[in-house]
Structure 1
Amino acid sequence: MNMKDFAVGAVAGAVAGAAVVEAVNRADRNVPAEKVLNNVKSAFKKEGPIEGSWIVMKTEPFRQKAVQLDVYRGGLTREIDGVFEEYEFAADAKTGTVVEITKI
């Protein structure tokens, strides 16, 4: 094997290793809380305007039956026919998927 073949193989291996490390690191990251809140607001806006909203930036453990995950907690207020409605939600921090919505 000559030096050129060795260098090409080494560079290809380094690039592949970097890609694997990036993929693993990306899998461990949470979806930003702001993005989760914006997605929930977008879903609710389809039914009417939103008066206010909030989200806790720190995750907390959530358990429902055998499923346990970290979630963001948040809420929003909207007005429907002159009546204010308040909702609280929990969203999976890894995927942003809403796992619970409660009308208060």
Structure 2
Amino acid sequence: MKLRDFLIGVATGLATAVIIKEASAKVSPYAPAGQVLENIKKEFKKEAPIDGSWIYMKTEDFSNGIITTPVYRGGISRMHEGEMQTFEFAADARSGVVVELVEV
């Protein structure tokens, strides 16, 4: 095998990998669940330290009576003024905006 043939193969493989990565990013219209959770945690940390958090990585439909949108479900727990607070949330899977927040 000639070096030229080898380099052409490597270049073709890299180009294909880049194209596939770009195409797969366009196919999935949802924000990564981990990034959504990190953004929500960042907002909660402004008020008090967080003890725990979780997010369900698969989307589910959420309806407010008018519109149905895909959401990620998750939760946050923290100590605030000596008491444990636990919150559950639903965040829009496309934008990451919290559409429901309930203290349990």
| Coarse TM-score class (shorter-chain normalised) | 0.7 to 0.9
> Aligned ranges for residues 70-85 of structure 1 at < 5 Å?
70-85=70-85
Q: Which has the larger radius of gyration?
A: 1
> Aligned ranges for residues 1-104 of structure 1 at < 5 Å?
26=26, 28-104=28-104
Alignment coverage as a number of residue pairs: 82
User: Mean alpha-carbon deviation: is it higher for 45-54 or for 26-35?
Assistant: 26-35
For 1:93, give the aligned amino acid.
A
Q: Deviations over 1:2-33 (max 9, x none)?
A: xxxxxxxxxxxxxxxxxxxx79x638520000
Partner SS, residue 57 of structure 2: coil
CA distance in 2 between partners of 1:67 and 1:60 (Å):
13
Question: Percent identity among equivalent residues?
Answer: 49
Q: Deviations over 1:62-98 (max 9, x none)?
A: 1001110100000010001210000000001011111
Where does structure 2 lack aligned partners over 5 or more consecutive residues? 1-21
Where does structure 1 lack aligned partners over 5 or more consecutive residues? 1-21
Partner SS, residue 48 of structure 2: coil
Instruction: State the 4+ residue runs in structure 1 displaced beyond 4 angstroms.
Output: none
